[in-house]
Amino acid sequence: MPSTRHSIDAPDDAPRLDVLVATDLDISRNQAATLIAGGHVLVAGRREKPSYRARAGEQITVEIPPAPGREVLGEDIPLVVAYEDDDLLVVDKPAGMVVHPAPGNWTGTLVNALKGRGASLSEAADEGREGIVHRLDKETSGLLLVAKSDRAHRGLGAALQARQIVRRYAALSWGHLTEERMTIEKPIARDPRDRKRMAVVSTGRPARTDLTRLARFDSADLLRAHLFTGRTHQIRVHLASIGHPVVGDDTYGGGGGRKLMGLPLRRHFLHAAWLIFRHPVTGETIDLRSPLPEELHRALVVAAGPDVSIAETAVPNPLDFFGFYRVDT
């Protein structure tokens, strides 16, 4: 496996270099110091000591060498496949699954599972990320595109850049939006005070999320979130920025009422429920829909209260009930 490259823009009041690298890559400080000592960390193209404090705006480049003998192997992990042909497939990813291997998650990932199926995968991305067109957060479930051929990967990548792939998410947010429809257009980057989080930052990358309220419950809103960009944690950061974090989201302030909604530990209410794209080879329009997973369905029953009958026996997919798949809502 070849090495991978990671870039960090030093924030204001940056901590020591070893601390900054460790926090950003989610590795130990000793591991970061080893990378620095081995010449794998450069600050504006030069080597520095672990104690160095980067100036704001300096770019830190980290070459992450492969672990000795670390090969991404196929594993026999069941997957729900929503669509598949010779060029691509769409996986309905469960919550709790990491998309591709990285330090701390070398096994049990979606890529391990895909390799375990024995099917071909595009090699347009780095090794260990074969076929991956876009990602979902670990605890976000739902539809995810995978390229099996290089031509499909190129076409899907171009469509993603041109915002021609429609991605709509079901989200339950705390409190109530001030409007039935809302657009949040705020730039996103690493949180300068906590490198494990993302945040709205004036110098970040542009990000736009359109929100439509489908239902208003006593303590939360059921939303349809339409992504126009695909920044890391975008929906979660945008909702938190207006004071309505995703229910169950510990990272961005929405985890406090998890028990109230009956959500499992480390699960937030965010599901990639609707994916529409033009097939990069045939030109056919592919329209795929994923029902709410059981644990989110149960949480929605609690949120809706006794006056709204959406139990699984009565309503197989409450997203249909609330008009999630109707574009006129």
**Residues forming the active site:** 137
Give just the sign of the alpha carbon dihedral 244, 245, 248, 254.
negative
Phi, psi of 30 (to 5 degrees): -65, -40
Tokens in use for 299?
């949480």
Q: In the 8-state DSSP scheme, what is residue 255?
A: -
Tokens of 218: 């006593």
Query: In three state form, how does the secondary structure of 87-109 look?
Result: CEEEEEECCCCCCCCECCECCCC
Place of tokens 């480390």: 266
Q: 159 and 278 in contact (C-beta within 8 Å)?
A: yes
Sign of CA dihedral 262, 266, 270, 272: negative
The dihedral built from the CA positions of residue 207, 213, 214 and 216, taken in this order, carries a sign that is positive
Q: Output DSSP code: residue 180.
A: S
- All residues at 6 or more sequence positions from 223 whose CB lies less than 8 Å from its CB, including other chains: 170, 171, 172, 173, 177, 211, 212, 213, 214
d(CA 304, CA 262): 12
At residue 20, what is the residue type?
L
